[in-house]
Structure 1
């Protein structure tokens, strides 16, 4: 499926459009299957989206929240993606505690943490061996190096195709991340990208030819819908 690319006037407009899309997809999932699943992104761009989601009236007992990646830090650490989402959103709505599925970072070895979370995801979705479950919504961003989730350029995590969860690597620091095939199994993937520093990455991601090891976000080609929400400061257009 061809990506849907929208260039919004500024970050508030980008956030409003993301909110509209996320609510549409979650409500549709609940109407069809009586449950909705979303995997969250870290970083500063989605934080105002989470703050707006905290103001919504949703059937919270039917929503299950995961994270697409996590830094290998305790849950109360300032760098924790889980902590950011809880403070901005989840602590402010009556979502059942068992509906929140963070990546647990209390294992001695990050490989153990990845294995543990993979087991949790498989159990939740009742996945068969070799099957990649379909999240209703996966939120993503990109870095100025074109990484997404914790899938960084020229790292081993990019090659993992037989697991749901793996260990990423950022300058020697381990992270836990969804794998490419798990992201690509999603019903809807939404990228939120803002800032002029993302222009070069975007031009390479959408180039006719470029190296996926160097520009990992090129690997994200979901079976479902793919949305790219950009703000004008990226200075990107479809004609680039």
Structure 2
């Protein structure tokens, strides 16, 4: 699909992006449940995605048919506040009636290799996804796909070692998995992301650019990240 499938959408603030993300998640869920009886969504960690999830708590969603997955996870104990799964539990899943069996977290506490193998098998049984949410780091990484790291092309989930930000051991979905959805939504907020966002828009070969180019992708960026 390529570049023409990527749309950069500027909103004024991170709050506006959180509100628009929540609206889009709700709409995607309704479409998927109406069409197939379930909504399969890959979630990102980070401040703005978590703010979006919190905005869904009081919405009349058909929670029994939501299935949630993760784009990446840190190899830390399950109750560590730095785990994406734990942050999402606090923001959303402990506050709404999503069945526990519908929460498909990465078992990263078992180690990167073991967890990646188990998650690869799990998501293979559930794909394709309906919506994939991602963020972007100041170096242009997304999920735990970092610049300079080689990512396998023949698996859905991969171990990550020596990540440039702590903790060094992680598990990430791969481009093969991120391609398995009709749409991707990438959230970019804050002035710290401005340089990488500008480089991406100029054509730099960044991990986030490679994932966005897999198919239909909307990039929600706030004014601080977009700059002038």
Q: For the superposition of Structure 1 and Structure 2, which TM-score range results when normalised by the shorter chain? A: over 0.9
Aligned CA RMSD, in angstroms, stands at: 1.5
Q: Which residue of 2 aligns with 1:128?
A: none
Tell me the SS of whatever aligns to 1:92.
Answer: coil
1:157-187 deviations in Å (ceiling 9; x for gaps):
2xx1100000123137111000012112221
CA separation in 2, counterparts of 1:152 and 1:223? 17
Q: What is the aligned residue count?
A: 222
Q: For residues 25 and 70 of structure 1, do their structure 2 counterparts lie closer, same or farther at Cα, with a shift above 3 Å needed? A: same
- Per the TM alignment, residue 20 of structure 1 is displaced from its structure 2 partner at its CA by 1.5
CA separation in 1, counterparts of 2:33 and 2:136? 28
Please tell me whether residue 54 in structure 1 is matched to residue 45 in structure 2: no
CA separation in 2, counterparts of 1:198 and 1:22? 23
CA separation in 2, counterparts of 1:178 and 1:164? 6
Please tell me whether residue 135 in structure 1 is matched to residue 129 in structure 2: yes
Question: Taking structure 2 as the reference length, what is the TM-score of the superposition?
Answer: 0.92
Q: Which residue of 2 aligns with 1:110?
A: 112
Alignment of 1:126-205 (within 5 A): 133-157=127-151, 160-169=152-161, 170-171=163-164, 173-205=168-200
CA separation in 2, counterparts of 1:229 and 1:198? 12
Are the aligned partners of 1:185 and 1:222 in contact in 2 as well (CA < 8 Å)?
no
Q: Which residue of 1 aligns with 2:217?
A: 226
1:65 corresponds to which of 68, 86, 92: 68
- After the TM superposition, list the runs of 4 or more consecutive aligned residues in structure 1 that deviate by more than 2 angstroms: 221-225
- Per the TM alignment, residue 151 of structure 1 is displaced from its structure 2 partner at its CA by 0.2
Q: Which runs of 5+ in 1 are unaligned?
A: 126-132
CA separation in 2, counterparts of 1:139 and 1:96? 21
Are the aligned partners of 1:11 and 1:231 in contact in 2 as well (CA < 8 Å)?
yes
- 15-24 or 163-172, larger mean C-alpha shift: 163-172
